[in-house]
A and B are shown apart, each in its own frame.
Chain A
Amino acid sequence: MASRYDRAITVFSPDGHLFQVEYAQEAVKKGSTAVGIRGTDIVVLGVEKKSVAKLQDERTVRKICALDDHVCMAFAGLTADARVVINRARVECQSYKLTVEDPVTVEYITRFIATLKQKYTQSNGRRPFGISALIVGFDDDGIPRLYQTDPSGTYHAWKANAIGRSAKTVREFLEKNYTDDVIANDSEAIKLAIRALLEVVQSGGKNIELAIIRRNQPLKMFSAREIELQVTEIEKEKEEAEKKKSKKTT
């Protein structure tokens, strides 16, 4: 009977579930999709943009946020929880830099965020953070990293992953299409992220936001025009591939 064990975060159910944490993972599924890809020389974050009300300032509805010059993250889930986590992570990045005189590694800041999330699964009177995050960046050694955290406070390194609504569909697409050839080329990695999102995004390129980090370069957010160009290229390639297929069958 789930209802007796899901009221308080600090209570395990007889079969070992922490229901509040599992319910927090359901809150993540209510957020729009975010995808992260780790290439050889590039890391890509793509998100499904939420439709913005006419009178709303678009700049305040961002799913991709920079944590430092070389690290950025995308989240899915409760907006307010994400804001709190991002603020804490940003402060930690600067505090670390001032203390140790080196920028944070991607793994360090991911572990910080994950530890913060885990604390909230073990305190009474608090609820877990209802967000999952994809954290990308380059370390000083020039190696690209992609990590994913979830409300339970676990974190793992990934080659490519998706979170939020329809994450399963996007992950399956990535499993089929993520190859070493694709990720060796920067523009192919970008196209892979966009193609993965187009599998689930309702109205095409205008609802996609994209950010990339290249080795030793700052975060770059793609403009709507640049994304449209990529989407047009992808559609052209798809048409050509279909033409070739139909030629082969005839």
Chain B
Amino acid sequence: MAATFFGEVVKAPCRAGTEDQEEEEEGRRETAEDREVRRQLARKREVRLFRRQTKTSLEVSLLEKYPCSKFIIAIGNNAVAFLSSFVMNSGVWEEVGCAKLWNEWCRTTDKTHLSPAEAFCVFYHLKSSPSVLLCQCSCYVAEDQQYQWLEKVFGSCARKNMQVTLLTCRHVTDYKTSESISSLHSPFLKALKTQNFKEPPCCSLLEQPNIVHDLPAAVLSYCQVWKIPAVLYLCFTDVMKLDLITVEAFKPILSSRSLKGLVKNIPQSTDILKKLLTTNEIQSNIYT
């Protein structure tokens, strides 16, 4: 027993063990009901990969069915908007798969026409060059689902002759630096690459002690383990919702080898981006 600052008595756990230990253990033993609930939850949280047009699920991993030499993954709405306006408008892209997953922060939809405001994870390949694969992921993939996502997309064996490019955003308050906040001009780009990625990145590397989180970290770790050349371009921004200036901060990547051949019409891309932003704009009067 312990008394808190406010005088209430709280039962504190005793490491020496008490007489009540056996009773407590009985209470903690799992019942069949607990196991069933756990099973149902695991089933609900499963990551499923399927084709929206045929509604059939993929039996093998995505990269096994569609081997590629270039895999570009955009995670987050600003990265997705960047690829939609600058890469996907120059060429015909065919949808090859869609990931459906559920977690407390997102319920992905499997409608055929997706608005920028919805959560989704869709895979495309370039019709004229099917070895280029693109992923638009605007949903949050929870920690327990990341391994499943990697298995369903990459599979569990090494991929040869493939290069992975990841794009994502993070809030500038997560950026750790010894400089003062006022000297940071966000949005700005930082890169983190695997050992096998030999090209010079399009921006400066992410300094220590900054770390990468969530799905981008999982993909980079996978690529590092399987010796796949991969680079993550991380945009630190102060506006996490869809924003023109944040999306345009990704522009230096257009000169990288993986994206160079895919981008054709930049002025048109800027118009497409503006349209995308106006359709998605939620009228906010907080700031004037």
Task: Show the binding face of A for B, using Cβ within 8 Å.
Answer: 22, 25-27, 29-32, 50-51, 53, 56, 61, 63, 75-80, 82, 168, 202
- Shortest CB distance B1–A (Å): 31
Determine whether the beta carbon of B274 is less than 8 Å from that of A32. no
List, in ascending order, chain A residues with CB within 8 A of B278's CB: 51
- The secondary structure that dominates the B interface is loop
Determine whether the beta carbon of B287 is less than 8 Å from that of A27. yes
Determine whether the beta carbon of B283 is less than 8 Å from that of A79. no
Task: Show the binding face of B for A, using Cβ within 8 Å.
Answer: 181-182, 185, 238-239, 244, 274, 278, 281, 283, 285-288
Determine whether the beta carbon of A61 is less than 8 Å from that of B287. no
Known: A26-B238, A56-B283. A50 touches B182 (CB 8 A): no
Determine whether the beta carbon of A82 is less than 8 Å from that of B283. no
CB-nearest residue of chain A to B173 = A2
Known: A202-B244, A202-B274. A30 touches B181 (CB 8 A): no
CB-nearest residue of chain B to A29 = B238
Known: A22-B182, A26-B238. A61 touches B288 (CB 8 A): yes
Determine whether the beta carbon of B244 is less than 8 Å from that of A78. no
- Shortest CB distance A56–B (Å): 7
CB-nearest residue of chain B to A3 = B173
- Shortest CB distance A138–B (Å): 26
Determine whether the beta carbon of A77 is less than 8 Å from that of B285. no
Most-contacted residue by chain A among B281, B283, B287 (CB, 10 A): B287
List, in ascending order, chain B residues with CB within 8 A of A168's CB: 185
Residue in contact with B288 in the complex, picked from A25, A29, A79, CB distance below 8 Å: A79
CB-nearest residue of chain B to A54 = B283
Determine whether the beta carbon of A22 is less than 8 Å from that of B288. no
Q: In whole angstroms, how far apart are the Cα atoms of A50 and B278 in the complex?
A: 13
List, in ascending order, chain B residues with CB within 8 A of A61's CB: 285, 288
3 interchain residue pairs of minimum CB distance? A30-B287, A79-B288, A53-B283
Known: A22-B181, A26-B238. A78 touches B283 (CB 8 A): no
Q: In whole angstroms, how far apart are the Cα atoms of A22 and B288 in the complex?
A: 19
Q: In whole angstroms, how far apart are the Cα atoms of A29 and B245 in the complex?
A: 13
- Shortest CB distance A24–B (Å): 12
CB-nearest residue of chain B to A28 = B287
Q: In whole angstroms, how far apart are the Cα atoms of A163 and B286 in the complex?
A: 17
Residue contacts A-B, CB under 8 angstroms, 18 given: A22-B182, A27-B287, A29-B238, A30-B238, A30-B239, A31-B287, A32-B288, A61-B285, A63-B288, A75-B288, A77-B288, A79-B285, A79-B286, A79-B287, A80-B286, A82-B288, A168-B185, A202-B274
Known: A22-B181, A26-B238, A202-B244. A31 touches B288 (CB 8 A): yes
- Shortest CB distance A82–B (Å): 7
Determine whether the beta carbon of B244 is less than 8 Å from that of A50. no
Known: A26-B238, A202-B244, A202-B274. A50 touches B288 (CB 8 A): yes
List, in ascending order, chain A residues with CB within 8 A of B283's CB: 53, 56
Q: In whole angstroms, how far apart are the Cα atoms of A192 and B239 in the complex?
A: 30
Determine whether the beta carbon of B238 is less than 8 Å from that of A78. no
Determine whether the beta carbon of B182 is less than 8 Å from that of A78. no
Q: In whole angstroms, how far apart are the Cα atoms of A51 and B278 in the complex?
A: 10
- Shortest CB distance B274–A (Å): 7
List, in ascending order, chain B residues with CB within 8 A of A22's CB: 181-182
List, in ascending order, chain A residues with CB within 8 A of B185's CB: 168
Q: In whole angstroms, how far apart are the Cα atoms of A208 and B173 in the complex?
A: 32
CB-nearest residue of chain A to B182 = A22
Most-contacted residue by chain A among B238, B281, B287, B288 (CB, 10 A): B288
- Shortest CB distance A184–B (Å): 32
List, in ascending order, chain B residues with CB within 8 A of A79's CB: 285-288
